[in-house]
Amino acid sequence: MNSILQVNDLRVYFDTPRAIVKAVDGVTFDIKTGERFGLIGESGSGKSTIALAIMRLVRAPGRIESGEILLDGENLLTLSDQEMRRRRLNKVAMVTQGAMNSLNPVIRIRKQFADGLESHGVNLSNEEMGERLADLLARVGLKPNVANMYPHELSGGMKQRVCMAFAISLRPSLIIADEPTSALDVVVQRQVMQTLRQVQEDLGSAVILIGHDMGLMAQFASRVGVMYAGKMVEEGPVRQMFNRPEHPYTRLLMESLPSLEEKEALVGGKGSPPSAADRPRGCVFHPRCPYVMDHCIDVEPVYRQVHPNQFAACHLHDPEVVSKAVALSPVEEARK
Ligand code: SF4
């Protein structure tokens, strides 16, 4: 299957008075046409910054330092601002956690859609607009009368669906959903995720779902990428990765999931992610890793294939390193 998106060695930095913060530091991945890809990681791992970079919405003091973002073969980073504006919604659209707050509470949904489409060069007659809007609302499970309502008359879940309808209005080939359900209660979360899946299947668009909820990822995505401290540390088919995580950080994420069968105490990850302005050298995960070796402290691991379609950045997958390295367990050794 062809790739709709290829992100190559992407680096997004923020210039701060104290240091250059490397929010995304050399990330490479691709998304196939119509694929559901999950991007998972703790807060500050860089996953939302990747989304902003794809949309070309990184604002100062942030900047895209280097890399390539190829959408359908076209490098978005070389487009003019005007060309990029035309690609948004047409080719790539984003739904965020706060998307529903972007609706103007005192303007009817229909008018907001018409204004939005007009700003993308789509001018429809009243009748055409009515039909288009009814179709879009139906796709996200809303009745046509929602078009005549004000946002303040809608629940959070309904508003999020309206935003989803807007995101798909020009049938983009890629939809980025950045924690689209975090502000909603669990039942509504499930409904919104079902809607997103339905829309994805109807349109055949690829979706990048960004979040930290492993359960949600397992249900939605066919492939996942795990981010840690600005780097992609593991990537692979969702079932394969959940059954056999190969990076110690992914393993910790799995172990921290509650289980109905096992009644043992939950295992939490030791420590917390490093400050973005002061990342450890060598492997960025080494201060928290239960398998840390002397080699990990100075040398950054190569991102390599560890199983068919599964990749990880960890020295444990380099037999030569493992044969010579000295284990530094417990973890505290690594902090010396
Ligand atoms: Fe742990 Fe070393 Fe692998 Fe990093 S490279 S995850 S420190 S074993």
- Give per-residue pLDDT as tens, 142-184: 999 999 999 999 988 888 889 989 999 999 999 999 988 877 7
For ligand 1, residues with CB inside 6 Å are 248, 283, 285-286, 289, 291-293, 296, 301, 314-316
Average pLDDT of the chain? 89
Residues 220 and 323 in one domain: yes
pLDDT at 86 over 70: yes
pLDDT score, position 275? 77
- pLDDT confidence of 299, banded at 50, 70, 90? very high
Residue 293 within a domain: yes
| Residue 152 belongs to some domain of the structure | yes
181 and 285 housed in the same domain: yes
Q: Does 87 share its domain with 69?
A: yes
The pTM of the full predicted model, rounded to 2 decimals, is: 0.90
At residue 306, does pLDDT exceed 60?
yes
User: Residue 302: which pLDDT band, with cuts at 50, 70 and 90?
Assistant: very high
pLDDT of residue 43: 87
pLDDT of residue 264: 60
Among 286, 311, 321, 328, the mutation site with the greatest number of ligand 1 atoms within 8 A of its Cβ is 286
pLDDT one-digit tens code per residue, 64-81: 999 999 999 999 999 999
Q: Per the domain annotation, does 156 fall within a domain?
A: yes
What is the structure's pLDDT at 295? 93
Please check whether residue 262 lies inside any domain of the structure: no
Q: Could you report the per-residue pLDDT of 40-60, keeping only the tens digit for each? A: 998 889 999 999 999 999 999
Q: Is residue 136 part of a domain?
A: yes
User: What is the CA(303)–ligand 1 centre distance, in A?
Assistant: 12
Q: Are residues 45 and 129 in the same domain?
A: no
Which residue has better confidence, 180 or 235? 235
Asked whether residue 166 falls in the same domain as residue 182, the answer is no
Residue 81 covered by a domain: yes
Whether 332 and 307 map to the same domain: the answer is yes
Residue 38 has a pLDDT of 96
- Looking at the structure, tell me whether residues 67 and 145 fall in a common domain: no
d(CA 71, CA 30): 10
- The answer to whether the beta carbons of residues 28 and 8 sit under 8 Å apart is yes
**Residue with CA closest to ligand 1 atom 5:** 314
- Asked, for residue 28, whether it belongs to a domain, the answer is yes
* 269 has pLDDT over 80: no
Distance CA 216, CA 97 (A): 15
Residue 221 Rama label (left phi>0; alpha psi -120 to 50; beta):
beta
Of 98-107, 127-136, 222-231, give the lowest mean pLDDT range. Answer: 98-107
Query: Do both 220 and 274 map to the same domain?
Result: yes
What is the structure's pLDDT at 28?
96
Residue 122 has pLDDT above 70, yes or no: yes
Name the maximum alpha-carbon separation found in the chain: 73
**Are 225 and 87 part of one and the same domain?**
yes
Same domain, 84 and 67: yes
Question: How many structural domains is the chain composed of?
Answer: 2
160 against 100, higher pLDDT: 160
* Shared domain check, 310 and 163: no
Q: Are residues 206 and 271 in the same domain?
A: yes
Range of the domain at 11: 1-91+175-189+200-257+267-336
Distance 254 CA to ligand 1 centre (A): 17
* Contacts of 320 by beta carbon, 8 Å cutoff, 6+ apart: none
CATH number at residue 325: 3.40.50.300
